[in-house]
Amino acid sequence: MASPAISVKDLSFSYGDNLAVDGISFDVAEGEVFGFLGPNGAGKSTTVRLLTGQLTPQAGTAELLGMDIVSERKKAQQEMGISYESTNLYEQLNAVENLNLFARLYKVADFDAMALLERVGLSGREKEHVANYSKGMKQRLMMARALVSRPRLLFLDEPTDGLDPVSTQTVHSLIETATREGAAVFLTTHDMVEADKLSDRVAFIHEGRIVALDTPAALKQRFGMRALKVEVGHANGQTELREVALDEAGTAQAVHDLFRDEHVLTVHSEEATLEDIFIDITGRGLQG
C-alpha cells in the first residue's frame, strides 16, 4: 500500500496543564478528504498547528509525505496549502497582488493569478483592495491562496463558513478537483452536514482524544439508529408525529399496528446524522 500522506502517532500537546491534544493517532491517504470534527475547544486547531509545524509536539510524531514535522518542518511546509482562521490576507493589496506575493514566496513558476481567481469566482473584483471584500469573498480568496502552490496537503478550516450556496458549491468542487489530483485534505469543522458530504472518513475529537474514526456510512451503521417518522391524522383534524425505530425486533409489529389502528398520512425514513452519533458517543453536540 502507498505510504500515507499524513501519518500521526500518539501526538500530544498541553498548554500549561491543559492537555489540548491527548495521544491521537491516524493516517490520511493521498486523495482522501479527512474530516476532523469536534466542538469548540476539542483540540482541532491545536492539532492543525501541530501538523503544520506552528507548534512543536510534546509527545508523539507526525509525518507529512514521509517528512517529520519537527526535523523536516520547512520542507514539509512547502507541500502545504492552508486556509485557516489564522491565515492572513494583505488587506491593502488586491486579490491578484495577494496571490502573486504568495506565489513568489512559494517559488511557483508560471503562476496565473487570474485563472485561479476565476476558479474561485472572484474574477471581476480582482483589482479591489481586499479590505473591501465581504467575508465570503475573503473566504474564497483564502481558498485560492491555499491552492497557489498546487499543494499535496490541504488544511482547510470551515472552508464554506459564511458562503452562499453557489460559492459553497464552488469550494466543494475545488476540493474535489484537488483530491482527484492526489491532494490529501484535512478538513476541520463543526458542520457535520458538510463533513458528511465531503469526507471519505471522519474522526470525532472530544477533549483532545479521537473517540471515533471511520467512513460516515460505517459510523451511521455502527452507532446510528434508523427511524420511521410517521404522521398520523386524528378525527378532530389534528396531526401527530410518531417515531418507529427501524432494525429492532418489534419494528414490523409496530408498523403493522400503526397502519391498522391509525390514519397514517405520511411516512419518512430517517437515518442518524453525524451530529446524532457524536452526541451518542460524547454526550454533547458539535455546536459550541
Considering only 45, 77, 139, 149, the residue that binds ligand ATP (CB under 6 A) is 45
Sign of the dihedral defined by the CA atoms of residues 178, 180, 182, 183, in that order = positive
**Closest distance between ligand ATP and the C-beta of residue 130, in Å?**
23
58: contact with ligand ATP by CB under 6 A? no
Number of residues binding to ligand ATP, judged by CB under 6 A? 11
Strand order in the sheet with 18-28: 18-28, 6-15, 59-64, 67-68
Within positions 229 to 268, which residues make up the interface with ligand ATP, using CB under 6 A? Answer: none
Which of 43, 121, 151, 216 touches ligand ATP by CB under 6 A? 43
Find the shortest distance in angstroms from Cβ 20 to ligand ATP: 3
- Give the residue with the Cβ less far from ligand ATP, 46 or 52: 46
Hey, what's the torsion of the CAs at 201, 13, 158, 141, to 10 degrees? -120
**Grid coordinates representing 269?**
425514513
Contact flag: residue 83 with ligand ATP (CB under 6 A):
no
φ, ψ dihedrals at 280, nearest 5°: -55, -45
User: Is 20 near ligand ATP (CB under 6 A)?
Assistant: yes
Options 42, 116, 153, 274; binder of ligand ATP; rule CB under 6 A? 42
Tell which one of 6, 11, 22, 38 touches ligand ATP (CB under 6 A). Answer: 38
86 binds ligand ATP (CB under 6 A): no
Kindly state the smallest distance separating residue 157's Cβ from ligand ATP, in Å: 8
Q: Could you list the residues that contact ligand ATP (CB under 6 A)?
A: 15, 18, 20, 38, 40-46
